[in-house]
Chain A
């Protein structure tokens, strides 16, 4: 245990955090059910449709898991940036750019074997995401510009850029008038895993979580991040270049988001770049990380909840008639409840200091 830097107090703190996250998830779901019932739909029908939609069969389960992939990656991207004290609100744009990068590599590199083509496509996605995080990083290092604001603006610029590209230079010549890019080469897609709809990029989930956890706890890079996170000033006094590390963390964060984007495009129904393929993932991913209280492993469970909400919600609409926007409402409520629960934890921690050891981002701009 101590090899991983754990001890009883930290464990109790983590258990407290886990308990609070579970409570938040449960509360959000129950409140949603209650509201739906008040409006007039049957709560039992809703609940059963929800469970069927998310977990009802191997196909449904696979679909849910596939949605988890980008959510986990984006959640990890958020955690990485916030561990260097950066608020990367530009994840949405970085995801979009990742999809763009993947599309460019996936449609233009002919004559490559499947494996290298896929690899290059994913790498292109990561690079594109990192590049989109480059400007905020540079502005921060050179001029102390708030990453929150600069990366946020780039979301809109990125969305508009893609809107232009898929109507112009990247437009699908053979398309049936749909607004999309040329489809990606079939051999650049993630190969299927089994028959229920899973693809091999599922493996990105454990790989990324493991990598981030290992880095955080076992490497010197991770130590630097933890030190910066704990006390930026002390880190500076130890000679650590906090700005450079923050910039690197931002770039890696962008890269992770870019990979998420590449998965979204590669796994999409049309296998091409469409206008709103990322639609909000950049923000839901943040919610995933928040609910997981910045724990990489926790992101898996948290992403499962949000993915289930999306998939389950779709079937609830079809079967019971509850508008699909209920999913959005549920997502928003989870975020708000997480924010509230942070306060509850803090109050509890006055009696039990160890519970206060849960990492929180500070809200400075």
Chain B
């Protein structure tokens, strides 16, 4: 029974998609210059709102709308505090994260105390014929809920929004050179407001995906830091939409892998191969873009050789699940240290804008 079978891909997509929603939202926000630490709060409160409204109305879709609404509301509060009130972005984000988490937990405890586990109606999986029959990945990719399919569309949509519309141009400029935006007559606060509202949509959808889009249950730990992981994914994906997709796939894959390996015993050869390929891709990515750095070439070859050796030798080792879960954060550290190519941080990220 292979490690990377259909079940693996189902789990991987399941982990990736909620993260992807939050990542896309955070991406837009950071591109406009706002480091939105409150994204975790948006996910939690989106999750609860979706859960509660779906439970109360009996309709998962109404619940999803509520989740989006809650996320957007949080985004609006974040926007007002950090843009209009010029409060420090980090502090406000932190405060919103704690408050939103508290509100969601409070409401959950208040409304659902009691021993019965409340379940809200959740989305059914929609199977796409033909495509779902593709071996290995078919079930994972094409036998999923509507929120998953929406996420597939969201990535290119965000790309088009950011890079092919005026709105996207202004938003990106607001995060790089806000003075240029102001001189053109457009409003930096407006650009950042819309970006934060978009982040709220992403966070809300992420939360909805975790409850209504999954099993329809809510717990106070339903997000488990996914919002913060989204911040890591934005960084890892170099602030680009398709990079964000790649980052979320890597992170989601690591989480799914960790689950499988718990039961698998020693690390099987196919895992080494996949890890090796992933490592070489990550380290060697700049080589595909014209870099000729010898250190990079050596390390890529070295990693490939090590992975091949491990796949053949099959040493009897297994990493505890926690170490697999650490991978996303370690990867981000590597990116920050510049070992994975140079990162281009939006210049105005985190800096409140004072108009002249």
Contacts and interface: CB of A to CB of B under 8 A. Distances in A.
**Direct chain A–B contact by Cβ atoms under 8 Å:** yes
Interface of A: 39, 87, 89, 135, 139, 143, 145-146, 148-150, 152-154, 156-157, 160-161, 163-164, 167-168, 280, 283, 286-287, 290, 323-336, 338-340, 342-343, 346, 360-365
A152 B87 contact: no
Nearest to A323: B109
Given A328-B99, A332-B102, A364-B351, A338 B333 contact: no
10 contacts: A149-B235, A157-B329, A325-B106, A325-B109, A331-B98, A331-B99, A332-B96, A335-B95, A336-B87, A363-B352
B330 A157 contact: yes
Contacts of A340: 81, 85, 87
A365 B90 CA distance: 9
B95 A164 contact: no
B102 A139 contact: no
Interface in B301-352: 320, 322-323, 325-326, 329-330, 332-333, 336-338, 345, 349-352
B125 interface: no
Contacts of B35: 363, 365
Contact of B81 (A145, A146, A339, A363): A339
Contacts of A338: 91, 95
Contacts of B259: none
A326 B325 CA distance: 31
B350 A365 contact: yes
A-side interface mostly = helix
A333 B87 contact: no
B232 interface: yes
A149 B336 contact: yes
Contacts of A135: 333
Contacts of A283: 94, 98
A164 B330 CA distance: 16
B102 A328 contact: yes
Given A149-B336, A160-B323, 15 more contacts: A135-B333, A148-B350, A163-B322, A290-B91, A323-B110, A325-B104, A325-B105, A328-B102, A328-B105, A328-B106, A332-B96, A336-B87, A342-B87, A364-B351, A365-B345
A353 B243 CA distance: 47
Contacts of B326: 156-157, 160-161
A343 B87 CA distance: 7
B21 interface: no
Contacts, number: 152
B105 A154 contact: no
Contacts of A329: 99, 102-103, 106
Given A164-B322, A332-B99, A326 B106 contact: yes
A323 B106 contact: yes
Nearest to B102: A328
B100 interface: yes
Ranked 6 nearest A-B pairs via Cβ: A332-B99, A328-B102, A335-B95, A323-B109, A325-B105, A339-B87
A336 B99 contact: yes
B218 interface: no
A363 B37 CA distance: 12
Contacts of B232: 153
B94 A335 contact: yes
Contacts of B351: 362-364
Contacts of A154: 329, 333
B228 interface: yes
Contacts of A148: 90, 350
Given A164-B320, A325-B105, A333-B99, A156 B225 contact: yes
B252 interface: no
Contact of A39 (B90, B110, B235, B333): B110
B102 A335 contact: no
B15 interface: no
